[in-house]
Every structure is written in C-alpha cells, then in structure tokens.
Structure 1
C-alpha cells in the first residue's frame, strides 16, 4: 500500500542492519533484523528502514513483505532496491538525499588536488627518505566533466569551480551530449546514480575518447564502470590515472589489479562518510517518520521509474 494520510500513530518498523545498528534509534514498534532474519521479521511490517544499504536481503525477502507501505534507505543510491517486486508495488520508496552532497564534493576536490599535486608521489618518496623535487600540474583553468546532475554532482561542480576549474555538468537530459565533451576533459567525475541508462557507461569506447592525460574519478557506483576496460586503459597508459571509491564488487578483491596499477587511488566507499554521518542518516529517517505518522507527504520520494529523486519528490 502507498503512503497516504491517516497513518496509525505507531507503525511497526523493521530495521535491516549489518554489523552496526543506527545510533540512538529507539522508536516504539521497532524491531531489528539482519539479512539472514529479514524474511521472518517482515510479515506485519509497515515501515522498512534499510540501514544496511549494501545488502540484497530486501530483494530476497520481499515475498514476505505483506504489509510494507514505506521503504527508506540510508543511502543516496537505490539500485539495490530497484527490483521488479518493489518497483511494481505501490510501496513508497525514499532515500537519504542531502546527507552526502557536501562530504562527497569535498572528497572529490581533495582527490583532484592530491593527484594534480602528486601527493601520492610525495608520500611514497618520504617513506623511502628520498628528496625528489618535481613539478606539479595546475588545477585552475582545467576542465572537469561531472556526470550526474543531482545534488551531489552540483555540489562537486561548485567546489571545482571555486578553485578555478571549468565544469561541464552532465545530467540525464544532457547525457547524449557527453561524447562531444570527453575529448576536452582533464577530469571525468562520475557521480551519477546507477540506472539502466548509466550501467557500464564508462567502457572502452568512452575511455578511448579521453585524452591520454585525463583522469577518472568515480564516487557514484562501481557498476557505472566496465572495470576490465578501465584496467586495460590504465595499464596501457591510455589515460592519466583514476581515483576510485566504488567498485563492481565490494570489498575490492585482493587480487584486483587496481590495487597496484600506477596512478590509481583506491578507497573503500568512504567519500560521503564524515564524522557524524550515521547520526545524520538517522535524523533524515526520523524526520520522515514524523511526517509518516502525521499523514504528511514524505521527503526524498524516489521516482521508481527513474531510480532517483526528482525535484518534485525532494521536499514536501
């Protein structure tokens, strides 16, 4: 059933969690479940909080969701929840849009500065006690193509522009124009949601359109990238480097060549995780829960046909 006015005061809430639970969340009618126990916890559940947003347990347990009216995920991306059973249902889906915008933008700016100024090389030389002088690259005046026109992409664009970069922001409506922008890109930043249209978008053809000095930054979703194609381009020196925070398989397998390829920075899906981020996610859920209890429109309602929140669904 969809969310509408006149909810009962205390809905039954189930929280899907992994190793950690949402801090400070102790609402009435609350129960906790792991991926292994979600199917037995779902019957009678009205509200499902997906705290473990890396889990596929909701898809597997969905046949037991006989009373769910609202699913909220503690993430910006909803790709693990866009399975046919949920998409075809009248259940309302919301995300945690807004929590990660500024942190991810800061992270991307940090990566740009670190790579342009060769901080990895400096740290490596220091570890070997080598006094190795070299010149570094400018940031101001360079061009960044940012793929993802949502709040995260826009926040990234603002910070990159603030240090003097020229930014081309590519959203869903501009996607067809991406190929003509790639040859001009010094930096290609992927911050798009994972949808049918964006899955595998960075493939051999797109990589071949980049200049040899261009660098790729991915803070969106790992499956935006065809990893074997990226590995091949990096190993052959056809692009200048990459900074990757998300991967097709997480944790990144120890045998992945990405760990050791020169010019590559690997981080463990942490670009949006500032100190206090878990508490911020809980507050987003609590705000929407109060709205739900009052029968008011929810914030951050995902357009399930698109796989992300549109402007009309962002706020009540």
Structure 2
C-alpha cells in the first residue's frame, strides 16, 4: 500500500499508479492512520512538517519519497535510525532556480525594482546601471542546483567559485571549491553570494552577523536554499546598516513571511514566496520522478536519488 501526504491538492498523473497499487491520500491530520500497513510514503506536500509526529503510525514502511530537493522536513532521528530508504526529487528544479538567480542578479545590476517604483509614480529619472560581466559570484552549495547556477552565471559573464563540504581545485563548474566552514575568510571577495546549500546541522545559521560583516558593502546576498541557513535578524541588521547592498530572498525561516517583517518594505530587498523553482509543469515533473522510482521499487531495481541519511542529501556519486 502507498500512502500519499497530499495536502490540499492531490498530485496529478497518479492514475497509472492507482491502477497498480492501493493508494491512500491523506492530509497531515490523518497521516498516522494512513501510515498503518503502508509500504511506501510519498510526501507530495513537501512543506509539511507532519511526518515526525505521525511516524508512530508506521509499522511496515520501507520507502519514503519527498517531492523536493531538500529533505529537512522529514529528517528526524527515528527516520535516520530506521531502515527506511529515503529518496528526493533532485533534478526537477535545477535550471529554473538557476534562471531565478540570474534574474535577481540582473534586477539588482539594472535596478529594475527602482525603475518599477519610478514608473508607478510617473517619474522620469535617468540613472546609470551596472554590468554583470566580469563580476564575481560565490555559490554556497555545490549540488546539482548549485552547478546549474554556476554554469548559467558563467555563461552570462560572471566569475564563479563554489563553497561546499569538500574543498577542491579543478572542479568543472566551479573551478575552485572552498570549505563552507571557513566562509568568513573569503566571502568578502565576491559581488554576489548565492546560498543554495542543503539544511544540515553544519549549515544551519551559516549566514550570521559574522558572515555578513565579512562581505563587501556592495555585495548582494541571494537565498534559494533554505530559510534556516540565515539568521534573519542578523540579515535585517546588515541591510539596515548598509553592511551589504541588498538581498533577494525566496526562502525564509518562517513561511509565509510574517506581514510585520521589515524585509517586505526594504527598497534593497527582493521577496518571493518560495517559488524560484516552480515553473509551469513543475508538479507533473515531481510526479514523474516519483513514478519512475515507484516502478523501480515495484520491480526491485535500484532507486534514483537515494539520500544519505547521515549527510542529509544525495551524494554526488549516487
């Protein structure tokens, strides 16, 4: 039996699977009951935090698939210690998130938000803008999404380096990859800093007051990873005090972003509601990845995108 945590909307294109297995759709409130006698769980509602609290209901679960690249909503001790195989939807969002990052860099360089504000006031005000060619970008997170970002930014003329768990030279996409544990030592060399790292115990709060103090005052910070990578209060202070020039934020430690957050009204901040990877057809693509693994699982074949539960992400060799 397959349990599907679907939230308000059921996933599309599930008919072939429904023809081959007993599928039980549920919301968060009914998840514990749905897990009883379920062999597999598809967490389609990937923002839900219901799985840890409902875990006691599972008595024969062997496989959990989440419809996102990040697995932190389902990464809790009981799952880590179990024999349940965890897979994710790695590969669906790579190019669309890269395009979002390039779009925000262009928006900052060409002052597109400023033009829109002036247009809304019917104000003709000539300004000079910036080139992005020759500027430098640090991509913190060297998985598939980070690699897509690096390739697109390099194609647009930026100089790109990476920061990750394992430092190395000669990387095909980043050239040099520096250790993210030493971020403060080199983050000040870059015009744009892009956060796309998975959320782990090592990366939580990585961008704090010290990190922002080490950046250039002209630097822009872009977060398309996880909100918890950032100490939000420290970011707000850095923006208010001019320690960095701006931020583009697609993810937040509290979502939806509270209406009272000062980030909403800062002229040097671009806010989007966790949508950088969500292009037309993305829900179907998520189901395609799950369905491919479902048929592999039914046939006893190796699954794609198996997460190393000690690391919290899919190793690059997997």
TM-score (norm 1): 0.94
Contact 2:308 2:315 in 1 (8 A): yes
Pick aligned residue for 1:51 from 44, 54, 73: 44
The answer for the alignment partner of 1:191 in structure 2 is 196
- What displacement does 1:311 show? 2.4
Aligned 1:251-266 pairs, distance under 5 A: 251-266=256-271
Aligned residues: 302
1:142 aligns with 2:131: no
List, as ranges, runs of 4+ consecutive aligned residues in structure 1 with deviation greater than 3 Å.
none
1:205, 1:211 → 2: CA distance? 12
Q: Secondary structure at the match of 1:303?
A: coil
Aligned 1:25-64 pairs, distance under 5 A: 25-26=14-15, 27=18, 28-64=21-57
Higher relative contact order (CA 8 A, sep 6+): 1
1:280 aligns with 2:276: no
Aligned 1:222-233 pairs, distance under 5 A: 222-233=227-238
Contact 1:145 1:181 in 2 (8 A): no
The answer for the alignment partner of 1:133 in structure 2 is 126
1:241 aligns with 2:230: no
1:156, 1:311 → 2: CA distance? 16
The answer for the alignment partner of 1:294 in structure 2 is 299
Contact 2:109 2:130 in 1 (8 A): yes
Q: For structure 1, which runs of at least 5 residues remain unmatched after alignment?
A: 1-11
1:229-253 Cα deviation digits (max 9, x unpaired):
0001101111100000000000000
TM-score (norm 2): 0.94
- What displacement does 1:177 show? 4.3
1:140, 1:92 → 2: CA distance? 44
Contact 2:184 2:210 in 1 (8 A): no
Q: Which moved more, 1:68-77 or 1:162-171?
A: 162-171
Q: Which moved more, 1:262-271 or 1:20-29?
A: 20-29
Contact 1:69 1:91 in 2 (8 A): yes
Q: Secondary structure at the match of 2:317?
A: helix
1:56, 1:183 → 2: CA distance? 36
Aligned 1:168-207 pairs, distance under 5 A: 168-173=161-166, 174-207=179-212
Q: Secondary structure at the match of 2:186?
A: helix
- What displacement does 1:47 show? 0.6
1:312, 1:153 → 2: CA distance? 16
